[in-house]
Amino acid sequence: MKTVKGRRINKKRGSSLVEVLVAFAILLLLMTGILQMFSLALLTNYGSAARTELTYKAEQTVEILRMIYGLSALGQTAMRTASGVPSTLGVTTSDWKLAYYDGQSGGDILPWAFWGPAGVNIMETDKGPYKLSYGVSDGGRFWIVRVTATPVDYVGNDTSASDSRRYLGQGTKTKRVDYVAQIPK
134-163 confidence digits (pLDDT tens): 888 888 888 899 998 887 764 444 444 444
List pLDDT tens digits, range 29-67: 999 989 888 888 887 787 787 788 888 888 998 999 888
Whole-structure pTM value: 0.67
Q: Where are the beta strands (DSSP E) in 1-63?
A: 2-4, 7-9
Q: What is the pLDDT of residue 156?
A: 42
Stated length of the chain: 185
